[in-house]
Amino acid sequence: PRLPKHKKEAGDYTGAVAIIDACRPYHWIDEFPATTQISEELLKETNAKWGKVLEED
């Protein structure tokens, strides 16, 4: 994202963007817990309740 003009003029080059590397290092592959999965029943309930809100354009 671009910095607003007033921040540049003030010499404030800070931003509110962060990049998070959420990848698991391969050499730790045996030390990580198993990933979780949502049940089919809960998925259906969630879609029934929130489906219209969560629809992609």
What is the rounded distance in angstroms from the CA atom of residue 14 to the CA atom of residue 16? 7
Which one, of 34, 36, 3, 27, lies nearest residue 17 by Cα?
Answer: 3
**Whole-angstrom Cα distance, residue 33 to residue 6?**
47
pLDDT tens digit string along 9-50? 999 988 877 888 988 889 988 998 888 899 999 999 999 999
Q: If pLDDT is split at 50, 70 and 90, which confidence band does 55 have? A: confident
